[in-house]
Amino acid sequence: MCSRLINPKQVVFTLCLILSSACAQQGNVAMETRQPPVEQRKITVECEFPAMAAPSGPALVAQEYGANSPIPLNAVLFTSPALKNSLVVQRLAASLTATHNAQVYARFINCTEQPLKLGVRTSFLSDRQVPVEPTSAWKTVWVQGLTTGNYLENSISQNVSSYLVEVRDDTEL
């Protein structure tokens, strides 16, 4: 007679509701007590401007010595003087691709709070320091204030011995 009064399906359903409700409440309490408060961290960019001395190594020099200063190869040349106090080259690397073409990579840091619009191009040179292909087209690299920007260029030729990356300030253009 008792089995007619109590529906076993209702009992199971009611027990599941009670258990899931209790578990949910315990889970919320456990989550609140286990998580430490979130710290607010301020990330800042620190720029160290290098000394003005040119790096040692190969350089392009004028035929008439003393007429021009040497231009270092395998380096970045800022063609806009205003960039020297606002932009830093954090990384400059060159490698060979699987097809033996040169690949140049540069990472820039904008040390100002204003966005910079850079024009960047690369000249690839032979072991005799003459171009092995036309200079690449100017690529636009936007670097927001206090952030990094990346530049990548591949050569067409496989006979690359050195390179020169030129950077100009295109912000006003």
pLDDT classification of 147: cutoffs 50, 70, 90: very high
Q: Are residues 29 and 103 in the same domain?
A: no
Give pLDDT tens digits for 80-117: 998 999 999 999 999 999 999 999 999 999 999 999 99
Angle at CA 133, nearest 5°, toward 128 and 136?
Answer: 120
Q: Are residues 24 and 87 in the same domain?
A: no
Give pLDDT tens digits for 116-129: 999 999 999 999 99
Closest C-alpha to 126, from 97, 95, 93, 163: 163
Q: Are residues 29 and 76 in the same domain?
A: no
Domains of the chain: total: 2
Strand ranges (E), the chain: 59-60, 71-72, 75-78, 87-96, 102-110, 116-125, 139-143, 148-154, 162-169
Q: Are residues 143 and 85 in the same domain?
A: yes
Q: Are residues 16 and 90 in the same domain?
A: no
Question: What local confidence, expressed as pLDDT, does residue 11 receive?
Answer: 46
Question: What local confidence, expressed as pLDDT, does residue 48 receive?
Answer: 78
Give pLDDT tens digits for 30-88: 444 455 666 666 666 778 777 755 566 676 655 565 567 788 999 999 999 989 999 99
Between CA 31 and CA 35 the distance in angstroms is 6
Q: Give a yes or no: residue 59 inside a domain.
A: no
Whether the pLDDT of residue 148 is over 60: the answer is yes
- Domain at 96, CATH number: 2.60.40.3230
Q: Are residues 9 and 81 in the same domain?
A: no
N-terminal to C-terminal alpha carbon distance within the chain: 92
Q: Give a yes or no: residue 56 inside a domain.
A: no
Q: Give a yes or no: residue 39 inside a domain.
A: no
Whether the pLDDT of residue 171 is over 90: the answer is no
Q: Give a yes or no: residue 17 inside a domain.
A: yes
Q: Are residues 81 and 162 in the same domain?
A: yes
Look up the domain containing 94 and give its range. Answer: 72-169
Question: What local confidence, expressed as pLDDT, does residue 128 receive?
Answer: 94
Q: Give a yes or no: residue 62 inside a domain.
A: no
